[in-house]
Amino acid sequence: MTPKNLQQRLGITFKNQHLLEQALTHRSYVNENPSAGNDYERLEFLGDAILDFVVGEWVFKRHPQLSEGELTRIRSALVRTETLADIARGIRLGDYLRIGKGEERNGGRERPVILCRALEALIGAIYLDLGIERVRGVLLPMLEQQEALVFSDAIAKDARTRLQEWVQSNHHQVPSYEVIAISGPDHARHYRVSVSINGEQWAIGEGKSILAASQHAATLALARLPS
């Protein structure tokens, strides 16, 4: 797929196509192709800040009844790596990335961290080239799709938070989550996520998003805790 296809999917047209190309270029590609130009990391830095602002503004206006703490939890849930990776998968961002051959073999196009950072870089590029209103126009519909998945968990203390608090208190570390399987078509993905403590797998959860599957895994792990 080409950057043109991605622009059509997003309903935008970059004035500076080189900026879009940079946003889609992973460091591994530049390492293997030194003449390829810059990777997306500087754009990622900018996009991360813009994302925090736009999401915070949107949540603030959308939920006037919520407290500062509740707003913070919702914003954090929406900009966490797993949520942003789900958004990136929704626009098939991984298909457009320029990544190195080694990263390709290692499944880089599906890695949540890469997808999250590439989305942040894309947001940074849209901001530089087309302005903040275009960022909102692209991002807000995606946030609306994700909000229902994260809202209730963000307001209530979710299973992941409760598990993390127990592990930190008893083992002085944090649980480790890993996506172990992805199945289903693009529009109906199904994920299996494992949670490990002290290197030991405690539970495997399933769900329609990585966040949902990890919450399920945490819930199952909590059921194993001593009463």
State the catalytic residues. 48, 120
- Mapping DSSP to helix (H, G, I), strand (E, B) and coil, where does residue 172 land? coil
Adjacent-strand bridge partners of 81? none
SS3 breakdown of the chain: % helix, strand, coil, rounded to 5? 65, 10, 20
- How many residues are present in the chain? 227
Rg (CA), the chain: 18
Residue with tokens 């008893």: 170
Token pair for 171: 């083992």
Q: Which of 53, 200, 46, 58 is nearest to 125 (CA)?
A: 46
Q: Strand 176-183: give its sheet, edge to edge.
A: 176-183, 190-197, 200-207
SS (H, E, C) 26-73: CHHHHHHCHHHCCCCHHHHHHHHHHHHHHHHHHHHHHCCCCCHHHHHH
Q: How many CA atoms lie within 13 A of 176 on its CB side?
A: 11
- Mapping DSSP to helix (H, G, I), strand (E, B) and coil, where does residue 102 land? helix
